[in-house]
Structure 1
Amino acid sequence: MPIDLQPKMMIRDVHIADRPRERLIRQGAESLSNQELIAILLRTGTRKESVLVLANRILSSLDQIQDLKDATIEELMSVKGVGQAKAVQILASAELGKRLYRKHTEGGRYAIRSPEDAAAYLMTDMSSLKQEHLIVLFLNVKNEVLYKKTVFIGGLNSSIVHPREVFREAVKRSAASIIIAHNHPSGHPAPSPEDIDVTKRLIEAGSIMGIDVLDHIIVGDHKFISLKEKGYM
C-alpha cells in the first residue's frame, strides 16, 4: 500500500519495512506508487517535510504523470522544496525513460499489424506536442518500420501538405507503404474535413506511385482514431 504521510510526518517516522526503498527491494518497483518512485529519485525531503510530501507536491503541479517527460528545469524548480539538484535528478530519469522506450520500439524492426501497433509506436512522443505535426512511417513489404519522419508542422491543409514531400522520402527509403499520422493538440482526435481531404490526396498520389497509404492515425490526449477503421479510406 502507498504511504499516506501527514504533512509534518517524516520518512524516519515510517516503519522501515514500509519505506519506498525497502518496499521496492522486497516487492519490486511495479508495486510502488508514482509518489514513492519520485521520492526515491529525490532521496531527501526538506528540513520541515518528508521526501514523500515533496514528491506529492511535484505530482500535484502536473496535470498528469506523463507531463513529467516534457517538464523544464524551471518548472520543476518552481515547486517549493525542489532545488536545481533535485530538478536535474528528475529530468535525467524522465529522459532515460524516453530513451529506453525508443530503444524498445526502434531497436529492431518494429512491425505494424494494426492501428493499435501504429498508435503505440507514436503515442508517447505525439500526444504531448503543442503544435500539429504530420509524421510519416515508411514501411517495408513486411510492414516493418524503416524510418519515421516529420514532414510538416502546422495545421493540416491539402493546399499546404504536398504529396511530393511525403513520397520523395518514400522513394528514397524504398518504402513499400506508408502510414500517415498527425496530432491534435486539443486532445480530441476526431478528424476534420481538412484531415480527410489530405488523406484522400495522399492516397491518390500513392496509387500513382505504387506506394500504399495503409492508414492515417490521428493522435489526441493518449487516445487515437484510425481513419481506415472509421471508413474514410
Structure 2
Amino acid sequence: MSTKNGLMIRDFPQDERPRERFMQHGPQSLSNHELIAILLRTGSKEESVLQLSNRLLTQFEGLRLLKSASLEEMTEIKGIGHAKAIQVLAAVELGRRVANLAYNERYIIRSPEDGAKYMMNDMRFLTQEHFVCLYLNTKNQVMHKHTVFIGSLNASIVHPREVYKEALRRSAASIICLHNHPSGDPAPSREDIEVTKRLSDCGKIIGIDLLDHLIIGENKFVSLKEKGYL
C-alpha cells in the first residue's frame, strides 16, 4: 500500500488509522471515505487505501451516487477491481436492507407520513419517475408493493386498469399511490392531480378506495389527500 511518497497505511499515526479508530471510538467517529477504506482493505502501489477511497467518493460525488453505482461503473476506477467493487456494493445493499427492516412485516399505514416513510429511502434518489402502488388490507397493512410504470407521469400511461388489476388479484381493501419527482420538489403538477382524480373515481366504482397519492421529493413529500384532491 505504498503511496507516491512511499507512505503506507501502517506509517500513519495509530489514531489516524481507520481500523484502530473504529475499535477505540466506534464507527461514528470515521468519515465516509475512512469507512470505505475499511471495506477496500488495501490500496495500490501508487496510493494508500485512504487515497483510493477518497478518490472513489469523489468520482461518485459522495454517497448519493455511490448508492446507485453499478459494478461496471465501479471497476472503471483505477485501483478498483471486481473484488473491491463487490465488497463496497455488498455493504451498500446491506445498508439498504437494514433501513427497510422495520417495514417488511405487514407495515401499517395510518397517515400520509407513514406512507412516505415506508417508501422514502427507496424513491427519493431515483433519477426517473417511478409510479408505485401499495396494496392494503382492511387493517391498512401493506400486503404488496408494485411498480406500475417508470417514466414521466401521464394520464394516458397510468391506466386505472393496471393499478386496480393488481388490487383485485391481491383482494386489497384500498391502495396508496406514490411517485417521485427527481427534481426533489414534490409540488404536484396538473398531470399529478388529473391522474389522482381519475384513479380515485375508478376506485369508487369498483369499491377499492384510493386512500392517498403521495409525491416523494428530496426527503420531503406532498399528500394529495391533504391538499384536498381526494
- Structure 2 distance, partners of 1:216, 1:232, is 9
Q: 2:61 aligns with which of 60, 63, 77?
A: 63
If the length of structure 2 is used for normalisation, what is the TM-score? 0.87
If the length of structure 1 is used for normalisation, what is the TM-score? 0.86
Per the TM alignment, residue 69 of structure 1 is displaced from its structure 2 partner at its CA by 2.5
Q: How does 1:91-170 map to 2 (within 5 A)?
A: 91-106=89-104, 108-170=105-167
Secondary structure in structure 2 of the residue aligned to 1:136: strand
Per the TM alignment, residue 7 of structure 1 is displaced from its structure 2 partner at its CA by 8.3
Further displaced range: 9-18 or 81-90? 9-18
Q: 1:200 aligns with which of 180, 197, 200?
A: 197
Could you say if the C-alpha distance between residues 7 and 56 of structure 1 is closer, same or farther in structure 2, counting changes exceeding 3 Å?
Answer: farther
Q: Which residue identity lines up with residue 174 of structure 1 in the other structure?
A: S
Query: Gaps spanning 5+ residues in structure 2: where?
Result: none
Aligned 8 A contact 1:7 1:53 in 2: no
Per the TM alignment, residue 230 of structure 1 is displaced from its structure 2 partner at its CA by 3.0
Query: How many residues are paired up?
Result: 227
Aligned-residue RMSD, C-alpha:
2.2
Is it true that 1:180 corresponds to 2:180 in the alignment? no
- Structure 1 distance, partners of 2:53, 2:85, is 11
User: Percent of aligned pairs with the same residue?
Assistant: 59
Further displaced range: 53-62 or 19-28? 19-28
- Structure 2 distance, partners of 1:22, 1:113, is 45
Correspondence for 2:36: 38
Aligned 8 A contact 1:135 1:149 in 2: yes
Q: Which residue identity lines up with residue 21 of structure 1 in the other structure?
A: R
- Structure 2 distance, partners of 1:199, 1:147, is 20
Secondary structure in structure 1 of the residue aligned to 2:103: helix
Query: Gaps spanning 5+ residues in structure 1: where?
Result: 1-5
Could you say if the C-alpha distance between residues 213 and 38 of structure 1 is closer, same or farther in structure 2, counting changes exceeding 3 Å?
Answer: same
Could you say if the C-alpha distance between residues 31 and 177 of structure 1 is closer, same or farther in structure 2, counting changes exceeding 3 Å?
Answer: farther
